[in-house]
Structure 1
Amino acid sequence: MARKRPKDPSVLHGHHVVSGPELRATFQEAAQDADDAARVRRRVLHGVVLVLLIGLIAAGIIAALAIINGKLAIPTAESAQETVSTCPAGTFDYTPPEQINLNVYNSTSRPGLARSVADEFLARKFVVGAVSNTEAGYRGVAAVISGAAGQSAAFSVQRNLPGSDYFQDGRTDGSVDVILSQDYAALAPPDLVDQTPGQLSCPRESRRVADDDKRPVNPSPAPTR
């Protein structure tokens, strides 16, 4: 009886059986290929970064040379424009009340306010003309309005009417209008009126919230309140 050939352990059912050493060798080759690919990617990335850095350095040197040679100007921040005041900046002497022609208007819903305040001005020897109602967009204590010729007179009126706002219009005479508004309470006591030289008062310019109108509505005759 013929002896059977010993079986080849590397062959099973006609297929090659991968041994441990062969399997380890295969994984080592795959790992080495992956490492090689990673090294290539790192080298490419390093090259790109290096090129960018060299470009930035070169651009900085060129820009610096251009600035030094005056070929490139660096824009500077423009200073914020200062708010232009419409309040006259001059200093005025206190004009005697008997030299001031004054018109008194009531823009509130309080009946008789214009007449009562006009009588108080009359008692202080102001020359009172028109006394009437008006509609005005102004909100505050009172608006004191005059032309350039009446600024000194308006200054004296404001000293008697604390908290009022001065406005200038285009009139050419020295008359002054007073428009009483909802915050009006009272005139300054006669014996406490400051008669030293000073400036016109425009407190509305520093308020955060502007009134409805940039300028008060010019008074128009209406039945006296």
Structure 2
Amino acid sequence: MAPESPAAPKPAPPTVRYRSPPPAPEVSPVRTRPAQAHPPVRRRVSSRRPIPPLIFLVVLAILALGVWFKVLQADQARPRSEAEACPAPPTVTAMDPATIRVRVLNATPTAGLAAQVTAEFVGRGFSVNATDNDRSGREVLGVGELRYGPRGANQAAYVALFAPGITLIRDTRSDDLIDIAIGPEFTTLASPDAVAVAIATPVAPTDTACASGNPSDTVEVEVDPLPTA
């Protein structure tokens, strides 16, 4: 037998080479700068100054004075305008005194004055409805007050001739009764002859009020009911 040839040597295993990873790049530390403080913001100061309180009060006082002056002017002008709106005095004509109803009221502290004037009216032919003290609560000045309503306007104008200087007052009564409130300056009634002359030469009444003695006022005059004569 032929001699066996030696076995072929086994190939050596391949050599495995490991590559190490490249070194990491060096990172330089980040240098931070400290934050700089912002400079303070300067606000612009207005050059205008607020109005002093004293000036404000002075302005208010001037405005109040102007308003008060206008109100005062309006009050002074009111009587003239309203007086023009009062009814015109009626035309005075001769009338029969017996058809006129009057009520004589004593508006003075003098006792018995109403009875005295009542006797004078009766002597001149008037129909005296009643005699009493004045209970209206009004302050009657001068010769007195002659109070009447719309229905007694003509009669009031005629009766006023017997008491020269008396104040005519038109109120809201619904009848033709005339109230004659005797004042402290009353003396006596005019004579029939003097009344006839006054009718022949008419003169406007010295004082005619719408209702309360002042031409600009309008109030209702209330008197307690009196018994008929």
Q: 1:104 to 1:168 in 2, by over 3 A?
A: same
Give the structure 1 partner of residue 152 of structure 2: 150
Question: How many angstroms does 1:219 deviate by?
Answer: 3.2
Q: What letter corresponds to residue 103 of structure 1 in structure 2?
A: R
2:92–2:199 Cα contact (<8 Å) kept: no
Structure 1's unaligned 5+ residue stretches are: 1-79
Secondary structure of the 2:179 match is strand
Give the structure 2 partner of residue 84 of structure 1: 82
* TM-score calculated relative to the size of structure 1: 0.53
1:147–1:172 Cα contact (<8 Å) kept: yes
Secondary structure of the 1:145 match is strand
* TM-score calculated relative to the size of structure 2: 0.52
Question: How many angstroms does 1:186 deviate by?
Answer: 1.5
Question: How many angstroms does 1:177 deviate by?
Answer: 0.6
Q: What letter corresponds to residue 81 of structure 2 in structure 1?
A: T
- Distance in 2 between the 1:152 and 1:196 partners? 16
Give the structure 1 partner of residue 141 of structure 2: 139
Give the structure 2 partner of residue 38 of structure 1: none
1:101–1:129 Cα contact (<8 Å) kept: yes
What value does the CA root-mean-square deviation take over the aligned residues?
3.1
Question: How many angstroms does 1:150 deviate by?
Answer: 0.3
User: For 1:84-103, what aligned pairs fall within 5 Å after superposition?
Assistant: 84-85=82-83, 86=86, 88-103=88-103
Q: What letter corresponds to residue 94 of structure 2 in structure 1?
A: Y
Out of 180, 183, 190, the position equivalent to 1:178 is 180
Q: What letter corresponds to residue 192 of structure 1 in structure 2?
A: A
- Distance in 1 between the 2:203 and 2:171 partners? 17
- Distance in 1 between the 2:155 and 2:99 partners? 8
Give the structure 2 partner of residue 162 of structure 1: 164
User: For 1:1-225, what aligned pairs fall within 5 Å after superposition?
Assistant: 82-85=80-83, 86=86, 88-134=88-134, 135-193=137-195, 194-196=198-200, 198=202, 201-203=205-207, 217-220=221-224
Question: How many angstroms does 1:183 deviate by?
Answer: 1.4
2:89–2:157 Cα contact (<8 Å) kept: no
- Distance in 2 between the 1:188 and 1:108 partners? 20
Structure 2's unaligned 5+ residue stretches are: 1-76
- Distance in 1 between the 2:91 and 2:221 partners? 27
Question: How many angstroms does 1:84 deviate by?
Answer: 2.7
Equivalenced residues, count: 140
Q: 1:141 to 1:216 in 2, by over 3 A?
A: farther
Question: How many angstroms does 1:118 deviate by?
Answer: 0.6
- Distance in 2 between the 1:137 and 1:215 partners? 14
Q: 1:191 to 1:92 in 2, by over 3 A?
A: closer
- Could you say which structure has the higher helix fraction? 1
